[in-house]
Amino acid sequence: MSVVAAAAVDVSQAAAGSRPVPMWRALNAALRDAMSADASVFVMGEDLTRWGTGGGIYGVTKGLLEQFGAARVRDTPISEEAIVAAAVGAAARGVRPVVEIMYSDFMLLAMDAIVNQAAKARYMFGGQFQIPLVIRTNGGSGIGKAAQHSQSLETLFAHIPGLEVVVPGTPADAYGLMLSAIASPNPTIFLEHKALYNERGVVASEPIPLGRASVVRGGKDVTVIATQLMRKRVLEAAEILAAEQIEIEVVDPRTLYPLDMETIAASVTRTGRVLIAHEAPLLYGFGAELAAQLASRLWRSLKAPPQRLGGARTPIPYAEDLEKRVIPDVAAVVSAVRGLVKS
Amino acid sequence: MNLREHGRMALRMMLLIREFEQRLKGFADEKLIRGSTHPSVGMEAVAVGVSMALGPNDCIASNHRGHAHCLARGADPGRTLAEIFGRADGYCKGKGGSMHIGVQELGILGTNGIVGAGIGLATGAALAASVSNRNEVAVAYFGDGGSNQGVLAESMNLAAIWKLPVIFVCENNHYAQSSAIERMFAQPQISQRGPAYGVPSVDVDGMDVAAVYDAAEAAVTRARSQGGPTLIVADTYRFLGHMADDTQMYRALVEVDEWRGKCPIDRLANTLTAAGLLSDQERNEMSAEAKREVDDAEHMARQSPVPSAQWAFTDVDTWQAAEGVVA
Ligand SMILES: Cc1ncc(C[n+]2csc(CCOP(=O)(O)OP(=O)(O)O)c2C)c(N)n1
Ligand SMILES: [Mg+2]
């Protein structure tokens, strides 16, 4: 498939340039470029064409119907299980579905199709089948959507052999990783963050390979690993800490699987101290996986035990004062880093 | 429905729901409500007609558009609104919000953020009644959109083979968010699905509270006499957007106006007046009374404190306080 190469040429029309665009627009551009480059790419999901000003719950599919027509831009009934299962079957037969599930919480209705079907088909059938499927959805808390529209489920998917898990934190990453996800022969869970759709950033015209972490800010004292909303908070914390002469290096893995341990380990080797911060509950989160890998790989270079920061083991409460309590805030990052530096 | 006996009660409740739901947009604009809230303006007759056919030990499982179901079931408007505001006096201590209002003492198994989920829950509530020989009925409220979840087919079959006392109430308001039924159903007569599973099914005019009540009463009677489930499909319409910020570009304003002409409240009031059961003055008094009641609810919800911070970590399970967010 030459999706990526061809798309790179097209992007100039869509989003690339020096003007910052919001995350939703960057995703929209990626879909348009991928669909222009490869006629086998199509999108389907609930309320993609007529909601808002036409374009899905957060606008990501805006204008696609007009440009590509109803055969390739499909509004579905509310039937998550059938939508995803059908996408898996379609992918097995040589097309490239990009499914939108309105909130990642609704992915749970499609878990058989994702876990038992999409993730295993290639292996079970001895490598005969490819499932070039992308499921786009959004996770995360912060805007009062409450318990059933705010979960961070990335670890659930990262735990399943056969799935790729993408967690973009900037418009540029969203654009570049979406092109790669669509081009990938594997099923990809593409988790957007609902609180970041209007974050702006400049988008480059290139795909970003899956499995490449990004060093977002350099620093010598502590490596802090974070994605999406926590990445944003960590960058705010970095300013506060810099005023105290504590320099943190911020690394965004960008994809949880494949995971770029080389970049992460190189950073931790330099700093000797690491904090992993995520929004998902602390217990059994991806922070535990990273901490374990880093501890066993870099035992001798570590100046302190790896530390983790994560959400409370609670569903996401509705009231603002409560919602704030269960997710690490900037102050929590700052004090965790201070603690690490002292240790 | 015997209008002399039940007409005023139905009117009073519909007026209360209308007044309550119409204020939500203003509250959302004022930032008193976070996330999404889905008002039932125009659909009052379904919740009210069904609820009036139920007894105190019965239960309901609702969906995302569930305030009307709760109020009609007897939920206190003040505590309901306090929950929608995320305040301490809300039914769920402000932890649930509009889409997660559960009230154990009223048999409300929750409004629900997952489209279709309540269908399975109500089936299970009916199973509990059946297993423990209690003569109780469970109602599942869901929309036209919700009926396209597989759980409806599975639940109807289960309820039919086990003769469970559950009533599937589909509020067909012609749209699921931005999707018109014409685009989402090749066979839009949803009541045809019941017979395929051995579930007696009936279409009812969802703008006529008396007709809804009669259908619900028949279903309750069947359920209580071990006759098993019923599917009721109520033809109705939401007068407002799907939620507060809805452009509604997916439907024509003339269509909305046409349905507003079928207002279930006007319809009942006019019927009662024609039958000599309601004077204009009484009608005005009832409207004023609904306003006062919602004023009181609003006052209570506004005054209610924000939840205690500690509550963020309680009620998860019966083990320890929640771990995480080390600081
Ligand atoms: C499983 C699931 N899928 C999608 C949604 C998003 N959603 C919320 S309400 C809604 C439309 C529901 O339509 P319908 O069942 O007809 O009820 P109505 O809103 O018309 O009352 C959608 C798509 C959801 N909450 N849960
Ligand atoms: Mg509907």
Quick one: tokens of A105?
């919480």
For residues A151-172, give the mean pLDDT: 98
- What CATH homologous superfamily does A3-201 map to? Thiamin diphosphate (ThDP)-binding fold, Pyr/PP domains (3.40.50.970)
Residues 6+ apart with CB under 8 A from B39: B21, B22, B24, B25, B65, B67, B238, B240, B243
For residues A188-203, give the mean pLDDT: 98
Quick one: tokens of B156?
């109807």
Q: DSSP characters for A20-59? A: -EEHHHHHHHHHHHHHHH-TTEEEEETT-SSSTTSSSTTS
Index of the ligand 1 atom closest to the CA of residue B149: 1
With a cut of 80, say whether residue A16 has pLDDT above it.
Answer: no
Domain boundaries, chain A: 3-201, 214-342
| Cβ of residue B276 closer than 8 Å to a chain A Cβ | no
Task: Please answer yes or no on whether A326 and B325 come within 8 Å at the CB atom.
Answer: yes
The rounded percent of chain B whose pLDDT value lies above 70 is 98
Task: Please answer yes or no on whether B96 and A146 come within 8 Å at the CB atom.
Answer: yes
Cβ(A108) – ligand 1 distance below 6 Å: no
| Predicted local distance difference test score (pLDDT) of residue B322 | 59
For the segment B48-59, what is each residue's pLDDT rounded down to a tens digit?
A: 999 999 999 999
Q: Report H helices in A101-170.
A: 111, 121-124, 154-158
Q: Give kind and range of the element (H or E) at residue B235.
A: strand B230-235
| Cβ of residue B262 closer than 8 Å to a chain A Cβ | no
| Cβ of residue B299 closer than 8 Å to a chain A Cβ | no
Q: Please state the pTM of the whole predicted model.
A: 0.96
Residues 6+ apart with CB under 8 A from B122: B59, B60, B61, B109, B138, B139, B140, B155, B166, B167, B168
CA nearest A277 in B: which residue?
B325
> Which CATH architecture best describes the domain A214-342?
3-Layer(aba) Sandwich (3.40)
Query: Tokens 């201070």 sit at which residue?
Result: A338
What counts of helices (H) and strands (E) characterise chain B?
A: 13, 7
| Predicted local distance difference test score (pLDDT) of residue B320 | 67
| Domains observed in chain B | 3-313 (3.40.50.970)
Quick one: tokens of B255?
């269509």
For the segment A19-60, what is each residue's pLDDT rounded down to a tens digit?
A: 999 999 999 999 999 999 999 999 999 999 999 999 999 999
For the segment B161-202, what is each residue's pLDDT rounded down to a tens digit?
A: 999 999 999 999 999 999 999 999 999 999 999 999 999 999
**Residue A191: alpha-carbon gap to chain centroid:** 4
Residues 6+ apart with CB under 8 A from A174: A23, A26, A27, A30, A168, A192
- DSSP-derived letter for residue B28 is H
Where does the pLDDT of residue B134 fall: very low under 50, low under 70, confident under 90, or very high at 90 and above?
A: very high
For the segment B140-168, what is each residue's pLDDT rounded down to a tens digit?
A: 999 999 999 999 999 999 999 999 999 99
Is the Cα dihedral A71, A75, A80, A81 positive or negative? negative
**Residue B13: alpha-carbon gap to chain centroid:** 13
For residues A107-128, give the mean pLDDT: 98
Residue A168 to residues A196, A210, A251, Cα–Cα distance (Å):
10, 11, 13
Quote the CA–CA distance of A96 and A183 in Å, as a whole number.
9
Terminal C-alpha separation, chain A: 50
| Predicted local distance difference test score (pLDDT) of residue A205 | 86
Cβ(B145) – ligand 1 distance below 6 Å: yes
Does the fold of domain A214-342 match that of domain A3-201?
yes
Q: How far is B139 from chain A (nearest CA, A)?
A: 21
With a cut of 50, say whether residue A7 has pLDDT above it.
Answer: no
| Predicted local distance difference test score (pLDDT) of residue A343 | 85
For the segment B210-223, what is each residue's pLDDT rounded down to a tens digit?
A: 999 999 999 999 99
Cβ–Cβ under 8 Å, residues B45 and B72: no
Quote the CA–CA distance of A311 and A329 in Å, as a whole number.
10
